[in-house]
A = this chain, B = another copy of it.
Amino acid sequence: MMELVIVGSVAIDRIHSPTGEVAEVMGGSALYSALAASKFTSPGIVGVVGRDRGDQIISFLEDNSVDTRGIEIKDGKTFFWEGRYFQDINNRETLDLDLGVFGDFNPDVIEDYRKSKVLFLANISPSLQLGLLGQIEADYVVLDTMDHWIDSERQLLLDVLSRIDLLIINDSEALLLSGKNNVVKAANYILSVLKGDLIIKRGEHGAIFFSKEYMSFAPAYPLEEPIDPTGAGDSFAGGLLGYLVSKDLDMACIPEGMLYASAIASFCVESFGPDGIAGASINDIKARVEFLKKITCGHLEQ
């Protein structure tokens, strides 16, 4: 039985940011979330890469304790995304996009991945997500989605939402999904259509966990030089789920897990591509968790 299986994209990114640019770095929701989770467990990825970059990506992931048996290598190009971040680094535009072999992603999950403690369905179409729910049996199912699916496949998405344990989305997606203009109101509405719980990510403003009974807030780790936010949300999700797996899915550990998720996401933002997160040791991460605890719960020492 797997501890954590992640389904999503594995990609090559070209990124322009006010602080610089990179012609080619590894990316994709599954890659970022698996790297983050790998700080606590050896997650499996269900994904697809092209023969152009497949070996390089798989070797990088294996070096980082990610189980890559679920990644298919296909003739063709790896999913490519080119984007530009604006001066306000919270906003970006897509300059180029080539789905490549990800265009007809429709995985037949390998036998060893069909049972997992946690299943993370990163941002893919709700119909694919539904299909994967049929193939993988998991104790705890976590979902991400995006504005495109909320607009174009709302009903199917709502069907999926009625079957999962945790939805992790960002604030603009929460407003769009709920039709509300306030995050708290949006959260209450989404909880009413969701089987499980909800996390709303707010970038540099942190993230909030909502259940029908509880709320928990984690600030973002304050960075003086954010370089590249690509993958930060995926790293947050993967970091949280890896941490929870390491705590036997004890939901009382969610507040602490949110701090680990924030800390890991901050390493992601500090460099282009996945290098920042790959290079962060568990002690580096713990130091930032302690800092986050101190600024939220600590008292000033004299």
Contacts and interface: CB of A to CB of B under 8 A. Distances in A.
A108 to B, nearest CB: 37
Contacts of A225: 182, 185
A293 B185 CA distance: 21
A224 B190 CA distance: 13
Interface string A153-186: 0000000000000000000000000000111110
Contacts of A297: 255, 293, 296-297
Contact of A216 (B184, B202, B208, B298): B298
A244 to B, nearest CB: 12
Contacts of A217: 219, 295-296
Contact of A296 (B214, B226, B253, B296): B296
Contact of A295 (B183, B202, B215, B298): B215
A87 interface: yes
Contacts of A224: 182, 184-185, 188
B254 A222 contact: no
B188 A208 contact: no
A252 interface: yes
B184 A300 contact: no
Q: Contact size class for A? A: 35 or more
Contacts of A205: 202, 205-206
A49 B301 CA distance: 43
A232 to B, nearest CB: 15
A1 interface: no
A294 to B, nearest CB: 8
A225 B219 CA distance: 22
Contacts of A18: 181
A172 to B, nearest CB: 12
A256 interface: yes
A20 to B, nearest CB: 15
A283 interface: no
A56 interface: no
A299 B256 CA distance: 8
Given A211-B300, A217-B296, 4 more contacts: A87-B181, A216-B296, A219-B296, A255-B298
Interface of A: 18, 87-88, 181-185, 188, 202, 204-206, 208, 211, 214-217, 219, 222-226, 251-256, 293, 295-302
